Structure 1
Amino acid sequence: MADVETRHEWRVPRGILAAKAIAAAVCVALALLGDVAQAFLASVAAAGFAALALRDLIAPVRLAVDEGGVTVPAGFAGRERHSWNDVDRIRVDTRRRYGVTARLLEIDTGDQVHLFSRYDLGAPVVDVAEIVMRLRP
């Protein structure tokens, strides 16, 4: 059994899941009230929001780390495990545009770069990066 301090996981916050579900419902309502073109566009948006909400419901864990490595999303609702030997770099990418600061946790596994925002992790990206780096041997 893994020690509580050596295994961490971060999930999509329930508020984000609820926002996506509400957006899907609003788009369905707009599709029912609009003309043909508006109904088409609102239906496409509703399907997109519903798909994102369903993914968050089926696979809420976006990042899991332990002494053996990291587990990241793969495909729509799958997971992919990488050992620490496969992880080339862990860093926080910070960008400023139009007065807004965006931070992303970047985990480079050689063939792929996995990006996580605070909306994916439910926690500040810098705090998550510190924990991930502490667990990395």
Structure 2
Amino acid sequence: MDEITPSRTWRVPAGLPAAKLAGAVLLVALGLLFADGDSVRLVVAALAAAALAGWAARDLVAPVRLAVDSDGLTVIRGFAGRRLLPWSAVEAITVDRRPRLGLTSETLEIDAGESLHLLGRYDLGATPEEVAAELRAARPDTTG
């Protein structure tokens, strides 16, 4: 049986994991520079750097966050797993907009009944509005 190739995928922008890793290195360097013998400062900097490095590792291990094909949507699940949502399970595809600190954030929401999948611009490498439009266009017409 042939493996189904997704007709379209959305992934984390290529430079984002590198920026996160650079931030982790910077946190360690600042921790070493400003610890002044205080082990608590150094431990906090190391923990923050480890969390940032883990976040970057997820981007490297599972860069594709969303894929669409004729069978449905494949979304990221957990750290690096995948879950196929058949079109029949997808109840709604919407974009949530919220003003925050003078800026508006957008999140793609995929409602699959028992689960809700939220993806932002940095998960998709595109605006959630653009992705939502493509997903709606790719969805088979079930009204006929």
Q: TM-score, normalised by structure 1?
A: 0.92
Distance 1:40 1:3 in 2: 47
Deviation, 1:31, is: 3.0
Structure 1 stretches of at least 4 aligned residues deviating more than 3 Å after TM superposition: 1-4
Distance 1:98 1:91 in 2: 23
* 2:81 match: 78
1:39 corresponds to which of 18, 38, 42: 42
Q: Is 1:135 paired with 2:138?
A: yes
Deviation, 1:3, is: 9.9
Deviation, 1:30, is: 2.4
1:1-137 to 2 correspondences below 5 Å = 7-33=7-33, 34=35, 35-137=38-140
Deviation, 1:66, is: 0.9
3-state SS of paired residue (1:102):
strand
Distance 1:76 1:61 in 2: 12
**Structure 2 unmatched runs, 5+:** none
Distance 1:76 1:31 in 2: 27
Distance 1:13 1:113 in 2: 23
Distance 2:3 2:71 in 1: 11
Q: TM-score, normalised by structure 2?
A: 0.88
Distance 1:57 1:2 in 2: 23
**Structure 1 unmatched runs, 5+:** none
RMSD, matched Cα: 1.8
Deviation, 1:85, is: 0.6
Which residue identity does 2:71 align to in structure 1?
G
Instruction: State which drifts further: 26-35 or 94-103.
Output: 26-35
Structure with the larger helix share: 1
